[in-house]
Amino acid sequence: MQQPTYELVVLLHPDLEIDVEAPIAKVESLVETVGGRVIKRDNWGKKRLAYRIKKQDFAIYVYFEIELEGGKVRELENQILITEEILRHILVIHEVNPAAPEKKEVKNGQEL
């Protein structure tokens, strides 16, 4: 059976911009340690935060798509919470094609 796919976005400390690959590799290592697998990774770069987080106005946003057993999600989040390089994170289930509302064609005031 295939493991569920999740989306993980982490906000890294802005001072890590010089060598951002090390903390990214650390996050990937955390995922692999709990039995997951990184499918996709995208560094969105340094961006201004809407509000200060841990005395920082900027953060480096990194997006991951990961495969992970549902029972291991809490274990991964616990590891992320104690990782100093990560200011914030969000982990949600990845929906490939969420159900779009049906469009009904209307002609002369009647549904077709």
DSSP state for residue 31 in the 8-state scheme: H
Structure-block tokens of residue 73: 């999600």
Specify burial of residue 97 (Cβ count, 10 A radius: 0-12, 13-18, 19+): exposed
pLDDT string in tens for the chain (112-residue length): 677 899 999 999 999 988 899 999 999 999 999 999 999 999 999 999 999 999 999 999 999 999 998 888 999 999 999 999 999 999 998 876 656 556 556 666 566 5
Residue 54, CA distances (Å) to 58, 84, 88, 90, 100 in order: 10, 11, 9, 16, 38
Kindly report the number of other CB atoms within 10 A of residue 68's CB atom: 22
Is residue 30 domain-resident? yes
Domain containing residue 84: CATH number: 3.30.70.60
Is residue 86 domain-resident? yes
**Whole-angstrom distance, CA of residue 31 vs CA of residue 54:** 24
- Letter string b/e over residues 16-36, b meaning 16 or more CB atoms within 10 A of that residue's CB: beeebeebbebbbebbeebeb
Is residue 102 domain-resident? no
The domain of 11 spans 5-95
CA atoms within 13 A on the CB side of 53: 18
Q: Please give the model's pTM, rounded to 2 decimal places.
A: 0.80
Structure-block tokens of residue 69: 């057993």
Is residue 40 domain-resident? yes
